[in-house]
Structure 1
Amino acid sequence: MAKVYFLIGGNLGDRELVLKRTTYALAKYVGKIVKESAVYETEPWGFNHDKSFLNQVVVVETKLLPENVLQKTQDIEKSLGRVRKKNRYSERIIDIDILFYDKVIVNTERLEIPHPRMGERLFVLAPLAELAPEMIHPANGNSILEMKDRCPDTSDVCVFKE
C-alpha cells in the first residue's frame, strides 16, 4: 500500500460540503483515508477573487499506481463540477493535487510528484506541516517544517472556524 498526500480545496459553491464530498470520493475510489488536517481558509494564490479558498491535506493508503490515482482524482473533480479553464490560476469548485506518493518521484508530461510548486505555497505547507512536519521531501531533502519556515508566500492562511 502506498501512502498518498493530497491537497484538496476550492472557493466556489458550498466549500465545506464540497470538501466533505471530496474526502468521501477519495475514500470510495482511491483508498482508505488515514489522516486529515484541519481545514484552512486561504486567500486566492496567483489571482484575485472575492471568495477565499478552503484547503485541507488528506492522506490516503492506496493500491493504485500514481497514474491511476491521477485519473481517479480527475474523475472526482469532474463529478463534483470542476471546469478546467485555460488559466491555471482561477476560481474553482474543487482542486485535488497529489503532493506525495510515498517517496516516489514521477516526472512525466501528465504528472509530477512531488508537486513541483508546493514549496512556494503556504496554503499547501501549513496543513501538510500539521500532519507530517518531519517528513523529508524526496527531491530536495528538506523537512516539511523547514520548507514551511522558508516559504516566501506571505498569504493569509488560518484554520477555518466552522
Structure 2
Amino acid sequence: MTDPQEYRSAVARFATGVTVVTVPGRHPHAMTANAVASVSLEPPTLLVCLEQDARVHDAALEEGRLGVSVLAADQQPVAAWLATRGRPSLGQLDRVPHHSGPVLGVPLVDGALATFECEVVAAHPVATHTVVVAEVRGVGGDAPAADPLLWFASAYRGLSPG
C-alpha cells in the first residue's frame, strides 16, 4: 500500500497551473483549483477535479455550468483567498475583480491569462473528488503576455528566467 505522505510528496513535484473555478447563481461560488486539464479539441472539453466536500462541488453539479480562469503570476492573492478553508460562503468574489462571461454568464476573474465558460456534461466520483467533464462554450482572456501562476512543491511559483 502506498504511504499517503510519500504520495503527497511525490505529487508536489508535479508543477501545475493555478485556476479559479466559479459557479454562477444567486450566491456565486468560487475556489482555487490546480487539477484542471484539457481533454479534447473536438468538441473543446476540459476536466476539473472538485473535492466532494467543497461548496463549489454541489453548486457546479446543480447549476450545470462553470467558469475556469487561468491565473497570472500577479494573481497569487486571488488564489490564496479562494483556497482559504472556512472563508464565508456568501460574497466569496466580493474582493476578487471579476465579470460575467458573455456566453454562459459565469463569473470569470479579470486579468486572467485565459477563461473558459463551460457546460457540465459528465461527473465521475473518484475517492474524495469528482472528476467533472465540461464542454467549453466560450473562451477568452485578458493578459496573454503575463507569466502564469504555478503550484509546485506545495507553494505558489512563477516561471524562472531562462
TM-score, normalising length from structure 1? 0.29
Point out the structure with the larger strand share.
2
TM-score, normalising length from structure 2? 0.29
